[in-house]
Structure 1
Amino acid sequence: MNVSLNWLKTHLDISDYSLEKIDDLLTFAGIEVEGVSQSGVPSDKVVVAQIKSAEQHPDADRLKVCQVDAGEGELRQIVCGAQNYSVGDKVPCALPGADLGNGFLIKEGKLRGVASLGMLCGADEIGLVSEEDGLFILPADSAIGTKLVDLFPSDTIIEVEVTPNRPDLLSHLGMARELAALAKVERSQLEIPSAETTPAGDDIVLSQPAQGPYYTAQKISNVKVTDSPSWLKERLEAIGLRPINNVVDITNYVLHELGHPLHAFDAAKVTGALDIRLAADGEKFAALDENDYQLESSDLVISDASGQVLALAGIMGGADSGVTETTTDVILESAYFTPSEIRRTSRRLNLSSDSSYRFERGSDPQAVLNASAYAAKLICEIAGGQLDGATQVAGEAPVLTQPVTLDVAKLDQLMGGSITLAEAEAILISLGLEKGEDNQWIIPSFRLDLQRHIDLVEEIARVHGLDKVESRYTGTFVDESPVDKAYDAQMALRYKLASLGFYEAQTIKLIAEKSLDATVAQLGDALPQRPLQDGDLVKVALPLSEDHAIMRPSLTPGLVATAARNLRQGAKALRFFEMGRQFRNMGGGKAKDLEADSLAILISGELQPASWANTKPSLADLADAKAIVAQLLPQQDVQINKRDRDGFILAGDVLADGKPIGAIAQLKPSRCRELGTELPIYVLELDLKKLQQLTSEDSPVNPLPQFPGSARDSAIEAPLSLANGEIEKVLGKYKEPLLVEFRCTDIFADPSGEKIAADKKSMTYSFMYRSDKGTLKQKEVDQAHQKLLDHLTKSLPISFR
């Protein structure tokens, strides 16, 4: 919510408090200040000037050379390109040295060879609002030389984030009430006339008292709908609202002044009695935002005797019943609606307004008549209206607060004796509470959040200042929780991947089913550890866009979209990873939904940048993708088992010590071209929980070998279709105590069949043998090696060359 400091000052005097001090008061009281901005004329070197003459520029058709009187005793020459002024007009003139913000400093110079000693300004150039295109034409009675900061006072806008339990702060009156208690200053009382009321009878029908229990209507006749006075426009514009007309502006002003929403109907467009009812299924509603909405039977509406829907209760008025320049009589609505009903309709229609924002958090039922009376008073004063009878009232304002007893002993205990009872009571009184008997406190109707003893203590503590309550306890040792362990394990993985040159990505959990834009995360790039089946997808009921229609079943779509954006920026090496949650609707809802945490990795392009020592950089391949997993799990034997997956080539399951932990694949070349690269892209999706278990296991420390080892190399001839993983699996299960290490060092194939059969390949393996009992003899190594070769020959369709 935007709070105008000038507006706030009409309620209390905070001139002794700097902006930084106000920021601190609000922040330490639990009201987050999200930003502070300035509005109005930015420099005192912008003055009122009168244009004395305007001659055509000798070298530019659209420029004129003006002589202006800025109150300096002599005329000042300024070149101007605006077309909306006449000689004799008074306009803002920025003198040399004026800083108009964003680094725009006015200096003396030349335009097309003609000296220009300042700048004549439009309203938007000096922080003001005007619908006129060109110079800001000032009133004729403006004194020449007057600083515009004196004519148009600047304002400070404080943007605050109000928590849902404090709807009383969603107004300038509410913020003034809070600041008065925090700063210990007096607050001026707003003059609100008492409303004369009468039972509505048949003129207002409460068809749904559970959703709309209290409704009032005040008719005001002979209204002249025009522009609002300048003071009203300035207040609305300061907080970011666009003035519309005096009646509508008054309802918006009262909303942000008192915090209670209002709405004004054109009485000529209302037929008969007002009916607060539920909509019919499929009933149409044309709203003020120029959109049509299809309603359901759970939506509360305001209609007239003809059945016309005048407004969506608590959310927005209708386009057909709104106040326009032809309106002469208005019906002013002020009501209380049940928060949950307003919230449900607002969310379902994706329709939010300043009114719904307040109603769905809980408005003050006892403020209904005050808001109506205050708005009616302003309409009569500004728009020349006349009250047509008393305010008609239907239903009763619900009482939502009750007295709360303050436990003095617990207060002293919780506050550590840092505050006296008299000081605590003074704080509660300053917040609007009244003291009753036996330490009971009467809660004002606008403080719906105060329901228990501890709520009163919290109010006392935050106004008194938590920094004044001395700590009684020191930190104690607490065993590491499973959450702590999981966090530490994930951070260790992050550090490891970062050290390998990877960048962490954080992508949105919603993806598209399909998109023509390669930078949009989409379902086709998903690489789940288990293949998707019908009904597995979790779809959003009311997606904000087609690009965010599905809860991601895999993290890889986000990384692929990230890769596409980086490729468009000219990246030659892609190294990304993401940790996050994936979502599946296992079996279409027949089984428990699955939300699992995964680690996704993407690698492509150059392994090292080109340099004088690396003129032909090598490119990432499937072996590099596997090596990443091996780096993360140095104590485990990492293998890849081939498994076809839709949308990918060279796909397989990732195994650690023979147990599956994820999936690996290469994107199809056609998909890579769509992303903007001819290079292969490899993706991995690993089960984060299994990774944490493997990385958290105690790593054995092996002593350095005391005796030398002996290596043997063997060339294996194998079918071209035999995967290296099959060979490594057989070797891994072979129980030879002298074999300590093996690896594939070379592979050769000849599609022509000249050097080796076209359906065969040659693989060179190196085997290392060693004993911890002594130096091996050649005969021992030869025997162990021959047994190994015999085992491989029996287990696999291979031969040795």
Structure 2
Amino acid sequence: MNVSFNWLNDHLDLSDHSIEQLDDLLTFAGVEVEGIEQKGLSTKLVVVAQVKEAVQHPNADRLKVCQVDAGEGSLRQIVCGAQNYKVGDKVPCALPGADLGGGFVIKDGKLRDVESKGMLCGASEIGQVDTVDGLLILPEDSVIGLPVVEMFESDTIIEVEITPNRPDLLSHTGMARELSALTGKARKPFDQPSLETSDAGDVIKLSAPERCPLYTATKISGVKITDSPEWLQTKLEAIGLRPINNVVDITNYVLHELGHPLHAFDAAKVDGALDIRLAADGEAFNALDGGEIKLAEEDLLISDAAGNALALAGVMGGAESGVTETTTDVILEAAYFTPSFIRRSSRRTALTSDSSYRFERGTDPQAVLNSAAFAAKLIVEIAGGTIEGPTAVAGEAPVLTQPVTINVTKLDQLMGGSITLDAAKEILTKLGLTEGSNDSWEIPSYRLDLQRHIDLVEEIARVHGLDNVESRFVGAFVDESAVDKAYDYQLKLKHQLAALGFYEAQTIKLIAEHSNDNMVAQMCDALPQRPLIDGDLVKVALPLSEDHAVMRPSLVPGLVAVAARNIRQGRKSLRFFEMGKQFRNAGGGKAKDLEAESLSLLLSGTEAPVNWANKAPNITDLFDIKAVVAAILPKAKVQLKERKRDGFVLAADVLADGKPIGAFAQMTPARCRAIDANNPVYVAELDLAKLQQLATGIDKVDPLPQFPGSSRDAAMEAPLTLENAAIENAIKKHNENLLVNYHCFDVFTDATGEKLDADKKSVAYSFTYRSADKTLKAKEVDKAHQALLDFLAKSVKVTFR
């Protein structure tokens, strides 16, 4: 909601409070200030100037070179593109250094090679409303050189976000009432007019009293529909509303002044009595904003005796019954509607308005007649006409508040003795409450949120200021919980992956059922280690769409979708990760649903973006994803152990120190083509709990070696089916003390069988030996190396070339 500072000053004098002070007061009282906007000018460098000469620009058809008198004793040259002025007109002139807002500061410059020392301004450029295209032509009697800020009223607009429990703040009266309590300033008196009332009789038929407990109608005859007076237009424009005509503007003004919505009907378009009834299923309604809408039986309509729909109650008026320039008689509606039904109709029809925003949060039922009386008074004063007879009233205003007793002892405990009882009572009185007997307080009808003792304590605390309540507790040390440890580890892991060039993805937990085609089998201990079957899926009972039908049993489908979008945007190097929950039914629908945290990785394309120093980067392969896992588990031995998985070219279990921690797979060419990928796509899914367990402990740094090492290479001939993991496990099992490092640097196969049997492969390893105590001799290295080769030949049945 937009609040005008000038409008607030109609209710209480805030001249000694800056906007920054009001911002702090509202914020600490629980009213969120979302923005502050200055309307009008704040600089005196925009002055009244008279155009003395205007000649054609030598280099531009639509520009003129003007000589203007800005009261400086000499003429100033300014280039101008407007077309609506003539020599002799007086216009606003922004001198160099003038700040027109938004960082727009006027400077000396050139336009098409012609000097321009300032700018002639239109209305919008000095914070006013444009009525013509071009410059703002000032009155002929305007004083040349006078700062324009002295001619036009400036204002400050405070944009506030009001919580649903405080509808009483959705008006300038409500905000003034709040600021009166916060600042201690008294509100200015308000002359509340009244209306003569009578029973509705045959004027109003209340067919749905449970949805509209109170409805009133005031007829005003002989009105003249014209533009609103300047003061009214200024107030509405300040808060972002467009003036329409005097009667409609008055209803909008009363809405933002008192907080209660009103509506005016053209009486000539109302056939007989007003009927507040439920709509027929499928009944058509032409809204002022939204065209024809089909209504449901739960929607509340204002109609006439002929059944014509005049308005969707509390939401929006009808296109045919509104006030126009031909209107002479109006019927002014003021009512109280049950909030839940207004909210339901507004959501279902997708129609929202300032009225529905307030009605669905709850308006003050006791303010219905007061608002109608105030609006009727303004209509008579501004639009003319007379009020015809008494206001017809159907129903009764419900009483929604009741007295609340405050517990003085608990108040003192909660406030820490920081406020006296008299001071607390004064705060409640300023907020509009009335003290009764035995610590009981009468709640005003507009404060629907005050229902319990603690509500009154909260009001006292926020007005008194929570910073004035001393803390009685000192922070105590609490051991780190398992949740804390998991959070810290995951945050550290995210930083590691970001340092390795990965981007974090966050995808929705609901996926399409067919997305499971891209799923890697589950790895987490909490989830079943078997192929996915239909009963394993956790399905949504009432999905919003087919794309949100099941809870994701894997994070991989989401990453594949992210990769597809990035590929189609032209990205060549793909590195994504996501952490989150995956869901599965362990018993095929017969057991409880299970969920577990996992880390999913996706790599594809080039290892790094192409740049001047790396014009042809390598294409990512399976060893890159293994290297990533090894980087996040530096203390563990990482291996990939092949395991067939349907729907993937290559798949393997990811092992750390011989124990499974997840799965790895390469997508098939067909799936790669489906997402427009020209390179292999590799994915992995790892159990976060196991990763955290392996990473737990103190990281120790090995000292630099004091003695040199010696390396030996060995090429072994092995069966084609022998896994590299088997060789590494054998090396580890041999447990040679002098062996400090080893790695495979070459693999050779020959499908033709010419250089090597087709069912064999040659695997070359490099081994490094070192002693921590001395420099090894060649014989010692050879002896250790030969013992390792003999063990490998015996344990994994390899021969050495």
Give the TM bin, normalised by the shorter chain: 0.7 to 0.9
Tell me the CA shift for residue 471 of structure 1: 1.6
Matched, 1:187 2:191: no
Q: Is the 8 A contact 1:290 1:319 kept in 2?
A: no
* 2:228 paired residue number: 228
Tell me the CA shift for residue 570 of structure 1: 7.5
Amino acid at match of 1:577: F
Q: Is the 8 A contact 1:641 1:655 kept in 2?
A: no
Query: Comparing 394-403 with 586-595, which one deviates more in the overlay?
Result: 586-595
Deviations 1:696-722 (A, max 9, x none): 5899999999999998846344447x7
Q: Is the 8 A contact 1:730 1:792 kept in 2?
A: no
Q: Alpha carbons of 1:759 and 1:781: their partners in 2 closer, same or farther (altered >3 Å)? A: closer
Deviations 1:400-440 (A, max 9, x none): 21111111111112212111111111111111111110111
Query: Comparing 20-29 with 65-74, which one deviates more in the overlay?
Result: 65-74
Written as runs of structure 1 = structure 2, the 5 A alignment for 1:142-157 is 142-157=142-157
Looking at structure 2, the residues matched to 265 and 553 of structure 1 have their Cα atoms a distance apart, in angstroms, of 57
Tell me the CA shift for residue 62 of structure 1: 1.7
Query: Comparing 463-472 with 35-44, which one deviates more in the overlay?
Result: 35-44
Unaligned runs of 5+ in 1: 515-521
Written as runs of structure 1 = structure 2, the 5 A alignment for 1:242-257 is 242-257=242-257
Q: Alpha carbons of 1:669 and 1:460: their partners in 2 closer, same or farther (altered >3 Å)? A: same
Looking at structure 1, the residues matched to 22 and 588 of structure 2 have their Cα atoms a distance apart, in angstroms, of 54
Q: Is the 8 A contact 1:537 1:584 kept in 2?
A: no
Looking at structure 2, the residues matched to 678 and 143 of structure 1 have their Cα atoms a distance apart, in angstroms, of 73
Looking at structure 2, the residues matched to 563 and 744 of structure 1 have their Cα atoms a distance apart, in angstroms, of 32
* 2:361 paired residue number: 361
Tell me the CA shift for residue 304 of structure 1: 3.0
Query: Comparing 590-599 with 12-21, which one deviates more in the overlay?
Result: 590-599
Q: Alpha carbons of 1:395 and 1:118: their partners in 2 closer, same or farther (altered >3 Å)? A: same
Q: Alpha carbons of 1:220 and 1:750: their partners in 2 closer, same or farther (altered >3 Å)? A: farther
TM-score (norm 1): 0.84
* 1:492 paired residue number: 492
Query: Comparing 637-646 with 97-106, which one deviates more in the overlay?
Result: 637-646
Tell me the CA shift for residue 362 of structure 1: 2.2
Query: Comparing 121-130 with 761-770, which one deviates more in the overlay?
Result: 761-770
* 1:82 paired residue number: 82
Written as runs of structure 1 = structure 2, the 5 A alignment for 1:225-624 is 225-506=225-506, 529=522, 533=534, 538=540, 555=555, 573-580=573-580, 597-607=597-607, 617-624=617-624
Q: Is the 8 A contact 1:629 1:638 kept in 2?
A: no
Written as runs of structure 1 = structure 2, the 5 A alignment for 1:85-100 is 85-100=85-100
* 1:749 paired residue number: 749
Amino acid at match of 1:427: I
Deviations 1:551-610 (A, max 9, x none): 877655665666677778876644433334567899999986776654333334554677
Amino acid at match of 2:308: Q
Deviations 1:646-684 (A, max 9, x none): 6x7545665667776555444666877887874444344
Amino acid at match of 1:116: S
Q: Alpha carbons of 1:124 and 1:578: their partners in 2 closer, same or farther (altered >3 Å)? A: farther
Q: Is the 8 A contact 1:533 1:587 kept in 2?
A: no
Q: Is the 8 A contact 2:192 2:370 kept in 1?
A: yes
Looking at structure 1, the residues matched to 51 and 753 of structure 2 have their Cα atoms a distance apart, in angstroms, of 93
Tell me the CA shift for residue 789 of structure 1: 4.7
Looking at structure 2, the residues matched to 553 and 373 of structure 1 have their Cα atoms a distance apart, in angstroms, of 63
Deviations 1:722-762 (A, max 9, x none): 7656x479869x97666998764432234555434667644
* 1:517 paired residue number: none
Looking at structure 2, the residues matched to 650 and 235 of structure 1 have their Cα atoms a distance apart, in angstroms, of 70
Amino acid at match of 1:301: L
Amino acid at match of 2:64: K
Deviations 1:84-138 (A, max 9, x none): 2344443322223322234433334444454434322222222322142222233
Looking at structure 2, the residues matched to 355 and 551 of structure 1 have their Cα atoms a distance apart, in angstroms, of 39
Looking at structure 2, the residues matched to 278 and 738 of structure 1 have their Cα atoms a distance apart, in angstroms, of 89
Amino acid at match of 1:398: P
Q: Is the 8 A contact 1:195 1:369 kept in 2?
A: yes
Q: Is the 8 A contact 2:711 2:766 kept in 1?
A: no
* 1:36 paired residue number: 36
Amino acid at match of 2:716: A
Question: CA-atom RMSD, angstroms?
Answer: 4.4
DSSP 3-state at the match of 1:456: helix
Tell me the CA shift for residue 251 of structure 1: 2.2
Amino acid at match of 2:8: L
Query: Comparing 584-593 with 274-283, which one deviates more in the overlay?
Result: 584-593
Q: Is the 8 A contact 1:47 1:70 kept in 2?
A: yes
Q: Alpha carbons of 1:639 and 1:239: their partners in 2 closer, same or farther (altered >3 Å)? A: farther
Q: Alpha carbons of 1:283 and 1:613: their partners in 2 closer, same or farther (altered >3 Å)? A: closer
Deviations 1:51-71 (A, max 9, x none): 344333344322223344434
Matched, 1:55 2:55: yes
Q: Alpha carbons of 1:373 and 1:668: their partners in 2 closer, same or farther (altered >3 Å)? A: farther
Amino acid at match of 1:715: M
Query: Comparing 411-420 with 746-755, which one deviates more in the overlay?
Result: 746-755
Tell me the CA shift for residue 357 of structure 1: 2.2
Looking at structure 2, the residues matched to 385 and 758 of structure 1 have their Cα atoms a distance apart, in angstroms, of 106
Counting matched residue pairs gives: 783
Q: Is the 8 A contact 2:727 2:792 kept in 1?
A: no
* 1:24 paired residue number: 24
Looking at structure 2, the residues matched to 563 and 455 of structure 1 have their Cα atoms a distance apart, in angstroms, of 51
Amino acid at match of 1:463: V
Q: Is the 8 A contact 1:538 1:584 kept in 2?
A: no
* 2:174 paired residue number: 174
Q: Alpha carbons of 1:783 and 1:74: their partners in 2 closer, same or farther (altered >3 Å)? A: closer
* 1:5 paired residue number: 5
Query: Comparing 288-297 with 372-381, which one deviates more in the overlay?
Result: 288-297
Tell me the CA shift for residue 350 of structure 1: 3.8
Q: What is the identity percentage for the equivalent residue pairs of Structure 1 and Structure 2?
A: 65
DSSP 3-state at the match of 1:201: coil
Q: Alpha carbons of 1:637 and 1:98: their partners in 2 closer, same or farther (altered >3 Å)? A: closer
Q: Is the 8 A contact 2:539 2:550 kept in 1?
A: yes
Looking at structure 2, the residues matched to 410 and 691 of structure 1 have their Cα atoms a distance apart, in angstroms, of 50
* 2:527 paired residue number: none
Looking at structure 2, the residues matched to 145 and 704 of structure 1 have their Cα atoms a distance apart, in angstroms, of 80
Looking at structure 1, the residues matched to 544 and 289 of structure 2 have their Cα atoms a distance apart, in angstroms, of 20
Tell me the CA shift for residue 473 of structure 1: 1.7
Amino acid at match of 1:130: D
Unaligned runs of 5+ in 2: 523-530
* 1:518 paired residue number: none
Q: Alpha carbons of 1:479 and 1:350: their partners in 2 closer, same or farther (altered >3 Å)? A: farther
* 2:528 paired residue number: none
Looking at structure 2, the residues matched to 254 and 672 of structure 1 have their Cα atoms a distance apart, in angstroms, of 63
Looking at structure 1, the residues matched to 409 and 502 of structure 2 have their Cα atoms a distance apart, in angstroms, of 57
Q: Alpha carbons of 1:234 and 1:672: their partners in 2 closer, same or farther (altered >3 Å)? A: farther
Deviations 1:312-336 (A, max 9, x none): 3322223233333333333322222
Q: Is the 8 A contact 1:661 1:687 kept in 2?
A: yes
DSSP 3-state at the match of 1:366: helix
